[in-house]
Amino acid sequence: MSPHGGVTRNTLRRQISGALRDEVLAGRLPSGKEFTVKQIAEQYGVSATPVREALFDLASQGLLVSDEHRGFQVRAFSAEDYRSIVQARSVIVEGVFSGCHPITVRGEAMVSVRRRASEAARAAKGGDLDVLIGYDLRFWRELSAFLGNPNISDFLATLRVQGWVFLVHRLRTSAERNRLLWLDHEALADAVTSGDRTRVLAMLRGYYAREQEWAERLLAMERIATDGY
């Protein structure tokens, strides 16, 4: 394969992976939806190879379940899954910000983070979930880059996408949606910019405590629906 062909295939792989992730987040590919490599390749008018690679990328991120005989299926996250996601994120962030590693903001990078924060906060206040999710994911991805550890940043990004996959469909139909959406992106960006570790940690602890509380509520509701008590 030529170098140009390799670049094209990798670009297609990323584009298809991103497009399918957006479809899952938007609910156009709902939980339990099954499809094959051939179906997706025909949908996008591309060869099977980059599609197969993109689907396995999403499976490795926990968004799809792969079945040798039936193709792929959009993963259905339970309230228990969501609770585990929130716990994992909070433990990692607590460990990072409680340690001695300084919060380092390099150059003009914070300008982009602040822009993401502003747009995410505006979308949250307006209840626009589709816009919010896009900016929220970019905000946390760019913010976590300041930790200086790409493995932690990648893992946190994966957990955040999984969390949104679980949340978004419930938020769309929840009467409490506006109350549940987090509005403090800009305040957190300010705290990080100032290097105020105590304030950053307090905000993050409050954020994850609220998320954990909602996870417990949803888990209790799920148990009642399943077991009747």
CA angle 23/160/223 to nearest 5° reads 90
Q: Is the whole-model pTM more than 0.75?
A: yes
Token code pair at residue 176: 């409490």
Residue pair 25/133 in contact (Cβ under 8 Å)? The answer is: yes
Kindly list the domain boundaries of the chain, sorted by start residue: 3-74, 79-227
Class of domain 79-227: mainly alpha
Token code pair at residue 59: 């499976």
Residue pair 201/97 in contact (Cβ under 8 Å)? The answer is: yes
Burial 110-124, CB ≥16 within 10 A → b, else e: beebbebbebbbbbb
Residue 67 has φ and ψ, to the nearest 5°, of -130, 125
Residue pair 140/156 in contact (Cβ under 8 Å)? The answer is: yes
Q: Where are the alpha helices (DSSP H) in the chain?
A: 3-26, 37-44, 48-60, 79-98, 109-126, 129-144, 150-172, 177-180, 185-194, 197-227
Q: Do domains 3-74 and 79-227 have the same CATH topology?
A: no
Residue pair 185/136 in contact (Cβ under 8 Å)? The answer is: yes
Q: What is the pLDDT along the chain (229 residues), one digit of tens a residue?
A: 334 444 476 788 999 999 999 999 888 888 889 999 999 999 999 999 999 999 999 999 999 999 877 899 999 999 999 999 999 999 988 887 776 555 656 557 788 999 999 999 999 998 899 999 999 999 999 988 877 789 999 999 999 999 999 998 888 888 878 788 999 999 999 988 888 888 988 999 999 999 999 889 888 887 887 776 5
Three-state SS at 121 = helix
Class of domain 3-74: mainly alpha
pLDDT for 208: 93
User: Closest Cα to residue 146, out of 81, 79, 101, 183?
Assistant: 101
Token code pair at residue 41: 């390749």
